[in-house]
Structure 1
Amino acid sequence: MKKVILFFLICQVIVFSSIGQQQHHSPEQLGKAYSYLEKKGEVYFSFNKPEKLQFEKILQVISVDNVTAEKVFAYANEWEFESFLSEDIPFEVLNHPGDVDFELNMLSDINVKDINEWDFYPTYEAYESMMAQFETNFPDKCKIYNIKTLASGRKLLFAKVTSNINQPAAKTRFMYTSTMHGDETTGYILMLRLIDYFLNNYGTDPKVTYILDNMELWICPAENPDGTYAGGNNSVNGSTRYNANGTDLNRNYPNPVQGTNPSGPHEPETVAMMNFTDTMGFVMSANFHGGAECVNYPWDSWTSSEKLHADHLWWQMVSHEYADTVHLHSPSSYMSEFDNGITHGGDWYVIYGSRQDFNGYYRNIRELTIEISNTKLIPASQLPAHWNYNYRSLINYIYRATIGLKGTVTDAETGEPVKAKVFINNYDNEEDNSYVFSREDFGNYYRPLKAGTYSVTFSAEGYGPQTFTDVVIQNNQATELNVQLQAGFFANFSADITRIPEGGTVNFINESYGEPTQFAWTFEGGTPATSNLENPSSIQYNQAWT
């Protein structure tokens, strides 16, 4: 009987503890939240910004969408919301951005040749059809790739757009993707229109022609089709931020701070993108979002006071170029947040698992996050205006990938391409992988840089490194530097000190190339006088040396 009473008391403690955690939560707001969770699998809400330590904890639990001086806006699935409730913070449930009460002009039968205004959203089947039509109508400039068919049957589609598409060439590779948050749909339509724009303006627009003659564009308009069409294939109304498994894809990538799985197992969309970018050698990229209007540059994982990207000043220049060009063609209120439309990601709010930081840190790609509409699901009639605000900036940002340092790295004896590391001395940072590599198939490399004079080292396994000093980069121009690396063994070393006092000792470090297996050191004036070790240490010199 005592055991029964004890069990009853424990149950009472648990129940009242749970009630106590939610004692400040409005029953009305809780009801709204659970209704959304049941219907959509996610809830959108706001709360007053808490103090720093509690906010940092919350950032690890829910999907924060926007942060102002006083308010936080966020999404949560059921598990995330229960974790948030334990923090006992009052909140307000907001209308879900993916649910609208206006006509969206959904079209199911679209002939891309007949589109004039682009003031519509396609059904999912119409989207697939549009992508297929681009390839059919322009077989020499467009090819569609499916990098993943999801369990729903929906596909992650890329349009490859370039001139002479069937002829492999050493071109700069560039990537745009949109709508990894399924309810942020403005970029979805803008990317479809951008594909169409490049295909139809090749040969008449000089900049478009130059880009397609020198670059490969890879454009994925819908990176989270399950979220965009969560309400069914016939409408984007009912869209969700998360994918079909209730995961925020922009918190799902490996991260330099939290490691491989910051938000649990990688989702199919995440794995597909990781595998795709691993082989492509993209120079630059951007992904498009909504809910704000700004250009967000690296890093997301650190504030600028904690860690600056090696290209921080370049990023500021490129971001301002995007926003400043937008300002010439938009209302004064558009893209005016933060520093005249741009922000360092972590200074806005720190997140882990973003695709921007994954591509920058693990893939050596320069990637931006571009927020292009305060309202996530805008009326279709507003889509043409947003295109007009942004399309010049979209093209300018692509063109940026051709500016800076470029060239080809080859084997000095065979002329074959070499995959080499391109490191800007006293500029690049080994810790954040800001260097780039030449491509294995053609040996071509591209390193976007601000104007200046640089020292550059090229290195590859099995080859001796080469360093070039006084490499001049001019504004808005490309400097070409072709490099031939010599294969074989190259003896090289360093020492922990170079000014040796009388009786001092020196440690030597082998830095030879070609993976030697035997070593023969001679130390003039040193004791011992010889060594067969790879890294001989404590070599004593009785006389001072400099």
Structure 2
Amino acid sequence: MVRYARISRFVSLFFVLFVRETLQFQYKHHSNEELIETLEEVHQNCPNVTRIYELSERSVRGVPLWLIEFANMPGHHERLKPEFKYIANMHGNEVLGRELILRLAVYLCEAYLNGDKEIQSLISMTRIHLMPSMNPDGWQLATDTGGKDYLIGRTNNNSIDLNRNFPDLDRIMFSNELNHIHHNHHLLQDVSSLRQPLQPETKAVIRLIMAIPFVLSANLHGGDLVANYPYDESRSGAQQDEYSVAPDDETFRHLALSYSLYHVDMADPKRKGCGDSRSDQFAKQGGITNGAQWYNLQGGMQDFNYLSSNDFEITLELGCEKYPPNHVLMHEWKRNKNALVNFIWQSHIGIKGMIYNLKTKEPISNAIIHVRNVTNGLHKDIKHDVTSVHDGDYYRLLTPGQYKVTVTHEKFYPRSKIVVVKNSLYMPALRVDFGLRPLSPLRIQEGYGYSMQISNSFESLIS
């Protein structure tokens, strides 16, 4: 028995060493060809929990837009398991995020195979999507020209800034607020025209957002060191110094801090900024900023996610230098590693559950989940609703407190529950299911139920 135990330990040790050897990561700037090779190597080592897929559109120059997914059942949405995404290199000359996402993919596979309980649990509980580069054409131009210019390579190959190219849903939201229109979510259906044609990279990401019910995401940039949260666009049109409050401001502040406080020095008040007075203040604010208070941005991906879907997105500025040299990449990984992982865990704050027909037990999609904060007698409506997805599951990110949650659907009687959110680390969100009683046909005709038709049809705008 002792001999077999020794052999077993030897085999286990050999397996771990083999995994580490085959997944060795070279800290360098990976070309577009090397990017997919790295993802394929990760998939080959972790075939049971990964999938590589390409978006529906390619870049202007025809480069595929690749993602790798980590999940227990890759390729499938599982009920009660939130969907998460990181997108990097949206601005082609801001390259650190691209390398961090590649390194994160290697790390998740490596840790999973080496028996890391936290990472195994994270992958088991979450469907994680990683997109290293949204703008491979811009990356190529920035790289070919030495990676030193502050602007060359920022745009795509049509000279369009992709982070100004999304439909401007903020203006629709702000107009609804002024006119006391209660429609406060999934606003893409209200877009009647575009300021400029959507680029193929933008179209591809919009289709991704509409196809997968993301709960949380971040896009990775460079040029400063701060976690930026909605809204990016000011209500008045002011170009700076206007705090543009989103309905989920408290939750967004928590999400931004969940990155900055786990980063080695993003929230260190002693560190210097990136050369201007605003940047110097970020660390004193905990390493976070409201987007519009920093500067006004129209057509950004961050706010588009929040206002077109159930997804809460923030923007991560990862450093003053947009194209850092190879020799600092390992150091940058160490600075960001814990923050990258901790932010994914935030997919599990708040509440989640199933919404179903109380009579037939069938799941109900497109039910509306409205939340009122009643902590300490506050009674404040959070004027941003989310909806249940096609399998009847829903996810509502919330900070600790007491809430009144009301679920409505045009064919069912509404139902409310009081819940207390605590948010335990490394644990799933509090489960709160809602069984809804069907309305009679007469009641439906009378409009008793609250009607909100969610449409994912936007092809006429982007064709």
TM-score range for the pair, normalised by the shorter chain length: 0.7 to 0.9
Determine whether 1:472 maps to 2:420: yes
Does the aligned pair in 1 maintain the 2:228–2:317 contact within 8 Å? yes
Q: Distance in 1 between matches of 2:76 and 2:354?
A: 19
From the superposition, tell whether residues 329 and 305 of structure 1 become closer, same or farther in structure 2 (CA, over 3 Å).
closer
The amino acid that maps onto 2:388 is: S
Determine whether 1:375 maps to 2:360: no
From the superposition, tell whether residues 136 and 234 of structure 1 become closer, same or farther in structure 2 (CA, over 3 Å).
farther
Give the 3-state SS of the residue equivalent to 1:136 in structure 2.
helix
Q: Higher helix fraction: Structure 1 or Structure 2? A: 2
- TM-score under structure 1 normalisation? 0.65
State the partner residue of 1:245. Answer: 158
Once structures 1 and 2 are overlaid, which stretch shifts more, 330-339 or 391-400?
330-339
From the superposition, tell whether residues 271 and 168 of structure 1 become closer, same or farther in structure 2 (CA, over 3 Å).
closer
Residue by residue over 1:418-448, the C-alpha shift from the partner in whole angstroms, topping out at 9 and shown as x without a partner, is: 1121110354554xxx2211211x2221111
Q: Distance in 2 between matches of 1:298 and 1:401?
A: 17
Q: Distance in 2 between matches of 1:315 and 1:243?
A: 29
Q: Post-superposition shift, 1:112?
A: 9.7
From the superposition, tell whether residues 149 and 227 of structure 1 become closer, same or farther in structure 2 (CA, over 3 Å).
same
State the partner residue of 1:85. Answer: none
- Residue correspondences, number: 384
Among 345, 352, 370, the alignment partner of 2:291 is 345
From the superposition, tell whether residues 241 and 166 of structure 1 become closer, same or farther in structure 2 (CA, over 3 Å).
closer
State the partner residue of 1:270. Answer: 202
Does the aligned pair in 2 maintain the 1:161–1:216 contact within 8 Å? yes
Among 402, 407, 413, the alignment partner of 1:453 is 402
Q: Post-superposition shift, 1:188?
A: 0.3
Determine whether 1:190 maps to 2:100: yes
Q: Distance in 2 between matches of 1:276 and 1:135?
A: 21
Among 439, 444, 448, the alignment partner of 1:512 is 448
Among 52, 59, 67, the alignment partner of 1:158 is 67
Residue by residue over 1:66-94, the C-alpha shift from the partner in whole angstroms, topping out at 9 and shown as x without a partner, is: xxxxxxxxxxxxxxxxxxxxxxxxxxxxx
State the partner residue of 1:74. Answer: none
From the superposition, tell whether residues 330 and 119 of structure 1 become closer, same or farther in structure 2 (CA, over 3 Å).
farther
Determine whether 1:283 maps to 2:215: yes
State the partner residue of 1:211. Answer: 122
From the superposition, tell whether residues 168 and 349 of structure 1 become closer, same or farther in structure 2 (CA, over 3 Å).
closer
Determine whether 1:333 maps to 2:281: no
Among 392, 395, 400, the alignment partner of 1:443 is 392
The amino acid that maps onto 1:124 is: N
From the superposition, tell whether residues 226 and 215 of structure 1 become closer, same or farther in structure 2 (CA, over 3 Å).
same
Q: Distance in 2 between matches of 1:310 and 1:205?
A: 37
Determine whether 1:229 maps to 2:140: yes
State the partner residue of 1:396. Answer: 342
Q: Post-superposition shift, 1:132?
A: 2.2
Among 217, 220, 225, the alignment partner of 1:293 is 225
Q: Distance in 2 between matches of 1:244 and 1:227?
A: 7
The amino acid that maps onto 1:242 is: T
Give the 3-state SS of the residue equivalent to 2:362 in structure 1.
coil
Largest Rg, 1 or 2? 1
C-alpha RMSD of the superposition: 2.9
Q: Post-superposition shift, 1:491?
A: 7.7
Q: Distance in 1 between matches of 2:243 and 2:267?
A: 34
Among 465, 480, 489, the alignment partner of 2:440 is 489
Q: Distance in 1 between matches of 2:40 and 2:144?
A: 17
From the superposition, tell whether residues 375 and 215 of structure 1 become closer, same or farther in structure 2 (CA, over 3 Å).
same
Q: Which stretches in structure 1 are left out of the alignment for 5+ residues? A: 1-110, 494-509, 516-546
Q: Distance in 1 between matches of 2:83 and 2:170?
A: 28
Once structures 1 and 2 are overlaid, which stretch shifts more, 145-154 or 164-173?
164-173
Q: Post-superposition shift, 1:369?
A: 0.3
State the partner residue of 1:318. Answer: 255
Q: Distance in 1 between matches of 2:230 and 2:213?
A: 19
Q: Distance in 2 between matches of 1:196 and 1:214?
A: 19
Give the 3-state SS of the residue equivalent to 2:226 in structure 1.
strand
Give the 3-state SS of the residue equivalent to 1:202 in structure 2.
helix
